[in-house]
Structures are given as structure tokens and as C-alpha cells.
């Protein structure tokens, strides 16, 4: 929905387009300051990073994480391949190039427009815009798992901050019901034409395809979790595994809901959420923050650079192929 709004902004609403970026840059700047100040307090030095990369065990670990990165983007490519099949059959290689292109474009475009646009523009034919709705819904399914598993981290935060001790079970239940009601009300007030558009988009895709997308989205989240756990347990072995799981799920949740300008802004949000969580848990955050930075380079920076070579393949004219 955000993508469609971004595409339909009128020229006289240019000022409206700027305020989300001001907000995002503000979040990113604050996050970077917060993270760097904490890391300086904990005296994280670059020499430690250099020592890490001289370790054969660490290089082996990074190789495994890199293999998981390729598997992760292959799963996303498979999602796009089966979703696009109803409009235009494409190979897994074609889908993979479109996904990497989206990673590259998302570094500079807001609201996930790069990931959505790269998929649609990788196809030919005047009816390809019909896939915008299904693509947005597919991305929403991926975000659902991030938010759902984020409950693990939120529960640990609630325990560490004694929030649950301040409110009775009845009060918490009422709060959940109220929030659910507000969410339902908000969805019901969605513009009728927009609501109808997404309902129709869901109906145009078979139930089997949606089930496959849900399953692939779940495994993508598991890969993210395993990747960061592998690096974090190596760099911060003193932190219990359950605390790390809570911290990582919370971090992914925060990254999803907090506005941020491109991939670089995501680094600040990740770091700030990790520092906040582990600070409450009374653990040093430097090792896990370093793990998030390493994973950012592997999962986003490298694919983004590779994807920049495929931007030329996007077809701005629906009737002309640029492959």
C-alpha cells in the first residue's frame, strides 16, 4: 500500500514526500549516535576486527553464513518465480537477477519501492502492473513472520523492565483486545477502492501459490535468525543463547517497524535496538553489534553491489525486453 501511495503522489504534494525522509534520517542519525557512543564506552577497537579475520575458524563461519545468504536470496527468488508464473513464466536465474536489482534499488528508494519495482519491471507486457498488489502482499507475509517472532524479544523486554508486574493479566488482555480492535477498525476504514484492489489481488493468485510463499517466507526468517546467531555466539559467547534469540528477534522487529532511509539507516536501527536490549540485560553489546554489521555487509551490501549490474535489465517499456 505504501508503494502504491508513493507512485500516485501528485506534483503539488512534493512537500508531503519530504517529511518521511526527514523522519527517517532523524531516526538513523539518532540511532548511529546512540550506538557509537555505547561502543566507545565499551572500547570496541578495529584491531579486534582485524584479529577476527585472521582466525581460520571465523573465516569458516563467515563462509557458512555467506552460503546461507545465497540460499536466502534463492528462496526469495523462488517466491518471485512462482508468483510471476501466472503472468509470465521466468527462470530462477531471471528471478534471482530481479531480486538482486531490488536489493540495490532499495538502498535509495523508500517504502520498499526498489524491491517491488524491480520485480514488476523485470517482466514484459502491458498487464504486468497487476502483479504490484500480489508482490506487496507477499512482502507483507514476510513482515508478518518478523513481527510474530518479535514477540519473543518483546516478552523478554517486558520481563526485564518488570512491565508485567505493573499490570494484571486482565489489564494486559484488555490492552491487547483494544489494540486488535483499533487495528481491525483501521483496516475496515481503508479506502474501499484500495481494499477491493488487494482483495482482488489475493484472489487472482491460487491458494497453492500463497501457501508456498508463506512456507518460503518462514524459512527465510529462520535463515536470518540462524545467520546472526552463528556470528553472535562466536563474538559474544558469554551471552546465553535464549537472550541472543530474544535480542535478535527484537532487533528484526524494530528494524521492520521503525522508518529508515535505505540499507545504511537499517544498520543504525539494528545497532540501537541491540544496545538497548542488551543494556537492559546487563551484557556488553559490542560483539552482537559487530555481528549485525558483518551480517549487513554479507546480506545486503554485497548483493546490493551485485544487483547494480542488473539495473540495466529492467524494462521501462512493457513491450520491450532488456535482457
The domain locations on the chain are: 61-313
pTM of the entire structure? Answer: 0.76
Please state, in angstroms and rounded to a whole number, the distance separating the CA atoms of residues 279 and 296.
22
210 compared with 186, residue with greater pLDDT: 210
pLDDT of residue 142: 92
For residues 260 and 158, the answer to whether their CB atoms sit within 8 Å is no
How far apart are the C-alpha atoms of 213 and 200, rounded to whole Å? 18
- The arithmetic mean of pLDDT across residues 103-110, rounded, is 77
Residue pointed to by grid coordinates 484492489:
197
Query: Which run of H or of E encompasses 38?
Result: helix 14-41
**Residue 265 pLDDT exceeds 70:** no
Residue 271 confidence (pLDDT): 80
215 or 107: which leads in pLDDT: 215
Average pLDDT estimate for 176-201? 58
pLDDT digits (tens, 9 = 90+) for 6-59: 444 444 455 455 555 565 455 445 545 544 554 455 455 455 666 777 788 899
pLDDT, residue 228, reads 95
What is the average pLDDT value for the chain, to the nearest integer?
A: 77
- At 11 the pLDDT is 45
| Interval 270-279: pLDDT, tens | 888 888 888 8
Amino acid at each position: 500500500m505504501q508503494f502504491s501511495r508513493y507512485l500516485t503522489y501528485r506534483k503539488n504534494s512534493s512537500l508531503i514526500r519530504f517529511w518521511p525522509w526527514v523522519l527517517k534520517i532523524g531516526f538513523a542519525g539518532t540511532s548511529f549516535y546512540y550506538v557509537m557512543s555505547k561502543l566507545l564506552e565499551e572500547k570496541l577497537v578495529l584491531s579486534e576486527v582485524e584479529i577476527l579475520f585472521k582466525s581460520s575458524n571465523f573465516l569458516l563461519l563467515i563462509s557458512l553464513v555467506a552460503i546461507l545468504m545465497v540460499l536466502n536470496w534463492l528462496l526469495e527468488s523462488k517466491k518471485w518465480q512462482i508468483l510471476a508464473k501466472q503472468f509470465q513464466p521466468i527462470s530462477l536465474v531471471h528471478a534471482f537477477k530481479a531480486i538482486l536489482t531490488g536489493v540495490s534499488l532499495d538502498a535509495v528508494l523508500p517504502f520498499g519501492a526498489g524491491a517491488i519495482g524491480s520485480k514488476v519491471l523485470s517482466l514484459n507486457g502491458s498487464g504486468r502492473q497487476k502483479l504490484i498488489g500480489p508482490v506487496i502482499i507477499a512482502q507483507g507475509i514476510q513482515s508478518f513472520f518478523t513481527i510474530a517472532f518479535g514477540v519473543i524479544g518483546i516478552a523478554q523486554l517486558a520481563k526485564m523492565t518488570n512491565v508485567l508486574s505493573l499490570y494484571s493479566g486482565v489489564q494486559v488482555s484488555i490492552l491487547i483486545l483494544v489494540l486488535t480492535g483499533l487495528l481491525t477498525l483501521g483496516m475496515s476504514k481503508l479506502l474501499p477502492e484500495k481494499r477491493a484492489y488487494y482483495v482482488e489481488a489475493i484472489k487472482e493468485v491460487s491458494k497453492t501459490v500463497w501457501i508456498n510463499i508463506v512456507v518460503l517466507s518462514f524459512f527465510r526468517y529462520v535463515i536470518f535468525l540462524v545467520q546472526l546467531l552463528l556470528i553472535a555466539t562466536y563474538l559474544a559467547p558469554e551471552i546465553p543463547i535464549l537472550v541472543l534469540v530474544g535480542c535478535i528477534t527484537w532487533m528484526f522487529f524494530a528494524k521492520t517497524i521503525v522508518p529508515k532511509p535505505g540499507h545504511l539507516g537499517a544498520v543504525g536501527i539494528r545497532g540501537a535496538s541491540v544496545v538497548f536490549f542488551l543494556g537492559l540485560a546487563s551484557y556488553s553489546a559490542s560483539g552482537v553489534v559487530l555481528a549485525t554489521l558483518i551480517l549487513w555487509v554479507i546480506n545486503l551490501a554485497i548483493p546490493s553491489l551485485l544487483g547494480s549490474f542488473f539495473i540495466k535489465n529492467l524494462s521501462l517499456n512493457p513491450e520491450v525486453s532488456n535482457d
